[in-house]
Amino acid sequence: MPQISGPTRAYRVVQIHPLLKCNLRCLHCYSESSPTQLPSLRVDRLCDALDVLQREGFNGVGLSGGEPLLYADLPRLLAHVRGLGMLATVTTNAMLIDDAKAAMLHELTDLVAISVDGGRESHNRLRGHPRAFEMMRDGAARLRRAGVPFGFIFTLTLENLHELQSVAEFAIAEGATLLQVHPLEEVGRATAALRGAAPDALELARAFVEVARLQEEYSGRLVIQYDVADVDVLAAHPERGYAMAPGEACSLAAADGTPLADLIAPIVIEADGAVVPLQYNFARAFQIADLNAGPLDAQFDAWKSARFEPFLALCRATYQRLVGDGARQYPFVNWYGEVLAAAGSGFGVRGSGVLVLRS
Amino acid sequence: MSEQPRGSSKLGELSHEELHLAIDAARASYKIERWWKYGQPAIDRISAVLDITDVRQAPSVLGGLTNLHSAQRQVSFDVFPYGIPVIDGVRVQLRIDQVTGK
């Protein structure tokens, strides 16, 4: 069956934020997670949604938050994911991992991703906690002893590229299999707390060179994954950015029974029940469904017929701006961040592939 | 925060031309073919179990899996019919290995 390969090809993931409660209040948080945040999703509602989404072709679930280890029903939710035959990953600050939680994660997850933001000083400053680094390291050690595959996620800012090598060495020393380098996005709390700290084009380019150097140096010991789009690759494969020519994909949506995952992945379930494309806090004008608003099948069908085409047009407009910009100095962009920003910047779509600005 | 020096400045200065040369050299060994979200690793293996409860659909499902196979994507699967005496379902144990672009 035809499908759009999107940015992640065969790995078609549902990212779930079951709660916004967190033991930390990080400066770079892309939501507003904190100890005082209360919204959370009922586990039975999430399990019901995953039943539908698995039938719609999704094969992976990424759990984050908030801090997912504060979600009381996490074991039940992960067991359900496992029962559906889907891959399960958990993103955590690792500070709350005790031996019991490590054993649970060993049984029910495929990979745990631990956030790390540089050396001890940088990490603790961004996390707003004087012992965040030590507690994270203790949690990682418990995972290692329990045999849980884990990796680290390094948030790249305008100011911390020089710490990447020490983070890579730390990751190897701790027994990680993966180091994910992800650019800071100035959304959520980071909008105000870290204004101007997102890496610009020059810093993304320098980071690419550094990632390649470190990958060569640590080849065979650590996989380093850099979460930016190469503009030249995007230009050659616009479908990876959902930026096909207008009309090219819409016949897919119109076909009866086309699974949702053949059209859009990743998708995100937020703590208020909203299901959105690609990114946390994606503009609600492009919302796919609401877990609190009735049967998902009907909502998915409605999205395919009414909102999929505007979504494609949004991606196409973003693509044309990124790829068609002859003045671009360096060929790397944070594609997810660019589309998120475009969706929230007042772009609306009316008609077939025609962009108009909302007044 | 934004008044701090760039992280890259502590790795040594590169001119515009030098950086482009460095990018070209780096691309020879490190390629970004796909891009991922925070907390989502570049999964390079997918294992799944498919239960086909309508046996009439089995040939088209298996044909579709076969078509997924390519130089970049190695698809393998085992098929286990079940039901006695009449086959009323098929279980497919599927594995997809793919090049992650690294």
DSSP letter assigned to residue A347? E
Q: In this structure, are residues A285 and A343 in contact, taking their beta carbons and an 8 Å threshold? A: yes
Torsion region of A242: left, alpha or beta (phi above 0 gives left; psi -120 to 50 gives alpha) = left
Q: Do A161 and B33 make contact, defined as CB atoms within 8 angstroms?
A: no
Least Cα separation, residue B84 to chain A (angstroms)? 25
Instruction: Name the domain count of chain B.
Output: 1
Angle, CA A50 vertex, CA A44 and CA A52 arms, to 5°: 110
Parent domain of B58:
43-98
Asked which of A20-24, A142-146, B17-21, B36-40 is least confident by mean pLDDT, the reply is: B36-40
pLDDT band at A356 (very low <50, low <70, confident <90, very high): very low
Question: Are A108 and A78 within 8 A, CB to CB?
Answer: yes
Contacts of B1 in chain A (CB under 8 A): 157-159, 194-197
* Residue B74 is assigned to a structural domain of this protein: yes
pLDDT higher than threshold 50 for residue A212: yes
* List of E strands, chain B: 45-52, 73-82, 89-98
Determine which of B10, B14, B43 to mutate to test the interface with A (most A C-beta atoms within 10 Å).
Answer: B43
CA B24 to chain centre: 25
CB neighbours of residue A251 within 10 Å:
10
Residue B76 lies in a domain: yes
What span, in angstroms and rounded, lies between the C-alpha atoms of A56 and A299?
13
Closest CA to A217 of B5, B42, B91, B30: B30
Q: CB burial class (10 A; 0-12, 13-18, 19+) of residue B82?
A: exposed
Residue A227 to residue B39, Cβ atoms within 8 A: no
Q: Rounded to the nearest 10 degrees, what angle do helices A201-217 and A164-174 cross at?
A: 40
* pLDDT tens digits for range A218-234: 988 888 999 999 999 99
By the 8 A CB rule, do A110 and B40 touch?
A: no
**Are the beta carbons of B26 and A151 separated by less than 8 Å?**
no
Confidence of residue B99 (pLDDT cuts 50, 70, 90): very low
CA–CA separation, A322 and A333 (whole Å): 8
Q: How far A319 CA sits from the closest chain B CA (Å)?
A: 14
- The pLDDT-based confidence of A355 (bands split at 50, 70, 90) is very low
Residue A64 phi/psi, 5-degree rounding, is -140, -150
Shortest Cα–Cα distance, A242 to chain B (Å): 13
Closest by Cβ to B34, choosing from A8, A155, A211: A8
Question: Is residue B60 a part of any domain in this protein?
Answer: yes
Q: Is the pLDDT of residue B70 over 90?
A: no
**Residue A190 to residue A232: CA distance in whole angstroms:** 29
**Which residue in B95, B89, B59 sits closest to B77, CA to CA?**
B95
DSSP state of A299: H
The lowest-confidence range among A22-31, A136-145, A313-322 is A22-31
Average pLDDT over residues A238-257: 78
Is residue B3 domain-resident? no
| B49, closest residue in chain A (CA to CA) | A85
Q: Is position B35 within any domain?
A: no
Task: Give A252's strand partners.
Answer: none
Q: What is the pLDDT of residue B63?
A: 82
A70 in Cβ contact with A23 (< 8 Å): yes
- The answer as to whether B67 is a domain residue is yes
A50-54, A118-122, A247-251, range with the lowest pLDDT: A247-251
Residue B15 lies in a domain: no
A3 vs A308, more confident: A308
Percentage with pLDDT > 90 across chain B: 20
| Tens-place pLDDT, residues A137-179 | 999 999 999 999 899 999 999 999 999 999 999 999 999 888 9
B65 within a domain of the structure (yes/no): yes
pLDDT tens sequence across A191-201: 776 778 889 99
Tell me whether the omega of the peptide bond preceding residue A196 falls within 30 degrees of 0, making it cis. no
CB B54 within 8 A of CB B61: no
Answer yes or no: do A8 and B40 touch at CB < 8 A. yes
- Cross-chain Cβ contact B35/A207 below 8 Å: no
pTM of the entire structure? 0.83
Identify the weakest region by mean pLDDT among A64-73, A96-105, A181-190, A258-267. A181-190
In angstroms, the Cα distances linking A162 to A7, A76, A119, A211 are 28, 41, 10, 11
